[in-house]
Amino acid sequence: MYEALKREIQSFENRTPGSHAAHQRASHRLPLGVGSNFRIYEPYPIFVRDALGGRLHDLDGNEYVDFNLCFGALMAGHCHPAVVRAVEERFKTGTMFGMPHELEAELAEEICARFPVEQVRFANSGTEATMHAIRLARGVTGRDRIIKTEGAYHGVHDSVMVSVKPKPDQFGDPEAPAQVPSSAGVPAGTIANTLVAPFNNLQAVERLFERYPGEVAAVIVEPIMMNVGICMPEAGYLSGLRQLSSRHGALLIFDEVKTGAKLARGGACEYFGVKPDLVCLAKSIGGGFPLAAFASSKAVMDAIAEHKVFHAGTYNTNPVVMAAGLATLRQVLTPAAYDHINRLNQRLVDGHRKIITQAGLSAYAIGAGANGALMLYPRPLRNYRDWIAIDVDLWKHYWFGMVNRGVLPQAHWWDEQWTISVAHTEADIDRHLAAFAEVAPALARAQQERSPKAESVRAGS
Ligand SMILES: Cc1ncc(COP(=O)(O)O)c(C=O)c1O
């Protein structure tokens, strides 16, 4: 670890003794001291006291402008008044029934009005949404295999815990990646059924279809890869997947857990003008509550209606979460909200670009809808294997530097991205940029010192 990074981490430790103590306590009773593996990082994670709108406070009372927003699940911001009101009302009339009620159809109608789908079933997490969508695709086609993207994350059920972050010594041929288990405990048979292709590589997908004729139930893809910062689909990639899937009798599943609410009212389907067979939604559609959905045509969803494919869940469509979802889609994520967020994101991306150039940093900034990222990479990423070349220490230097200046720029981990919420203001964007302007020159210096060219010059001198 280099000196400038060490200084930022020391400063973080000086500012956050409360988080350190809370983490030590939690570590006795929770593996890693956290409730989800993505929340742990060195030296210890920030523990939260409270959050409201676009602001968050840690246990030591430090305030952050929050662009992490629960891994992008809070385009509504924390505790949006419309969501809070709707939920408070529902608290008085029963929190769960395990019986039908009218909010279910209301929310399904809202989703069908935004996305090119005819029917919806609800769930409680993105993991559930992709799990049910894949089972439905298997049930409808009578096939077992699926194709997923190398490096893509679709939740933690067995079928998609394959090649999520495969290591270079495991991932094999770039044109035909190996199927690498991402956790112990995933059955070998399941791994064999999850075929892997690189993002932005239609030929690799086509080869898999040809190698396993009549065996592939579905292609599941995140329309913008948001598990490697932000990696955009090249022109023709998503429509190419559409054509290949149709030609080979497989269903195309868009995992819109992250993109769904945040790219446009109709998610990636609208943004890219491509119609998948199944759409998976979660995160920002719930306005801060555990709401997820998978949706498709009536013809596909009929497999559920005909009792061919089973879908159920005690907590599905509980009225509190349905009310939160309805308030979010009807009152928060309005056309005006998208305009506001797009404007702020443009300001943030443009500001980053200016600072990157001024500092001489080899990096780029990219935005899409409510999402954006500083990518410490010299040119636009094409796939997961580009992303693994990112200098992780440099990224940590950026993240701790921003956090020490009161801006939570994104979730910790260089595979994430920032989220703009309806609660953010121009002043918040300018604060974000001011912090980056302070950090960028030190980053550029560190980058130059650490570049292989600089090392060979040093070694030769
Ligand atoms: C693209 C994508 N799909 C699925 C999931 C899983 O969602 P959840 O964490 O709600 O299970 C995530 C979570 O980050 C995601 O980013």
DSSP letters, 213-282, are TTTEEEEEE-SSB-SSS-BPPPTTHHHHHHHHHHHTT-EEEEEETTHHHHSSTTHHHHHHT---SEEEE-
Cα separation, 230 vs 85, in Å, equals 34
Any residues with CB less than 8 A from the CB of 284 and at least 6 apart, and which? 72, 73, 74, 75, 76, 258, 260, 261, 262, 328, 333, 370, 419
pLDDT computed for residue 415 by the predictor: 94
Which amino acid is present at 354? K
Asked if 153 is an active-site residue, the reply is yes
pLDDT computed for residue 453 by the predictor: 54
Cα separation, 420 vs 134, in Å, equals 30
Cα separation, 66 vs 56, in Å, equals 6
Whether the Cβ atoms of residue 180 and residue 170 lie closer than 8 Å to each other:
yes
Return the ligand 1 atom nearest residue 125 CA: 10
pLDDT computed for residue 456 by the predictor: 44
Q: Could you tell me whether strands 292-296 and 119-123 are parallel, antiparallel, or unpaired per DSSP bridges? A: antiparallel
How far does residue 258's CA lie from ligand 1's centre (Å)?
A: 7
pLDDT computed for residue 455 by the predictor: 45
Cα separation, 63 vs 257, in Å, equals 28
| DSSP characters over 341-377 | HHHHHHHHHHHHHHHHHHHT-S-EEEEETTEEEEE-S
How far does residue 447's CA lie from ligand 1's centre (Å)?
A: 32
Cα separation, 162 vs 145, in Å, equals 13
Q: Tell me phi and psi for residue 300, to 5 degrees.
A: -75, -45
Q: What is the pTM of this model?
A: 0.97
Q: Which of 44, 153, 364, 377 is catalytic?
A: 153
Return the ligand 1 atom nearest residue 283 CA: 10
Residue from 162, 164, 220, 258 to probe ligand 1 pocket by mutation (most atoms less than 8 Å from CB): 258
CB atoms within 10 A of CB 257: 28
Nearest by Cα to 117 from 254, 239, 238? 254
Distances (CA, A) of 210 to 201, 213, 216, 244, 285: 15, 5, 10, 11, 37
How far does residue 126's CA lie from ligand 1's centre (Å)?
A: 5
Q: Which of 148, 258, 262, 283 is catalytic?
A: 283
**Per this entry, what is the length of the chain?**
461
Q: How far is CA 289 from the centre of its chain?
A: 16
Asked if 165 is an active-site residue, the reply is no
User: Both ends of the chain: CA-CA distance in Å?
Assistant: 23
| Sheet containing strand 48-52, strands side by side | 48-52, 55-58, 63-66, 407-408
pLDDT computed for residue 423 by the predictor: 98
Q: Rg of the Cα trace of the chain?
A: 22
Q: Is 325 in the pocket of ligand 1 (CB under 6 A)?
A: no
Return the ligand 1 atom nearest residue 282 CA: 10
Nearest by Cα to 417 from 161, 225, 289? 225
Which tokens go with 56?
Answer: 């968050």
How far does residue 160's CA lie from ligand 1's centre (Å)?
A: 11
- In DSSP terms, 293 is beta-bridged to 122, 281
Reduced to 3 states, what is the DSSP secondary structure of residue 61? coil
How far does residue 71's CA lie from ligand 1's centre (Å)?
A: 9
Q: What is the pLDDT along the chain (461 residues), one digit of tens a residue?
A: 899 999 999 999 999 999 999 999 999 999 999 999 999 999 999 999 999 999 999 999 999 999 999 999 999 999 999 999 999 999 999 999 999 999 999 999 999 999 999 999 999 999 999 999 999 999 999 999 999 999 999 999 999 999 999 999 999 999 999 999 999 999 999 999 999 999 999 999 999 999 999 999 999 999 999 999 999 999 999 999 999 999 999 999 999 999 998 999 999 999 999 999 999 999 999 999 999 999 999 999 999 999 999 999 999 999 999 999 999 999 999 999 999 999 999 999 999 999 999 999 999 999 999 999 999 999 999 999 999 999 999 999 999 999 999 999 999 989 999 999 999 999 999 999 999 999 999 999 999 999 865 444 444 43
CA-CA-CA-CA torsion sign (248, 199, 266, 302): positive
Q: Which of 58, 66, 158, 255 is catalytic?
A: 255
Q: Is 258 in the pocket of ligand 1 (CB under 6 A)?
A: yes
Burial class (CB in 10 A: 0-12, 13-18, 19+), 347: middle
Looking at ligand 1, which residue's alpha carbon is closest to its atom 16? Answer: 258
Q: Is 294 in the pocket of ligand 1 (CB under 6 A)?
A: no
Asked if 283 is an active-site residue, the reply is yes
Q: Could you tell me whether strands 278-281 and 194-197 are parallel, antiparallel, or unpaired per DSSP bridges? A: unpaired
Q: Is 222 in the pocket of ligand 1 (CB under 6 A)?
A: yes
Q: How many CA atoms lie within 13 A of 101 on its CB side?
A: 17
Query: Scanning the structure block, which residue is given the tokens 């490697």?
Result: 228
The answer to whether the peptide bond before residue 335 is cis (omega within 30 degrees of 0) is no
Whether the Cβ atoms of residue 148 and residue 195 lie closer than 8 Å to each other:
yes
- In DSSP terms, 33 is beta-bridged to none
Q: Is 127 in the pocket of ligand 1 (CB under 6 A)?
A: yes
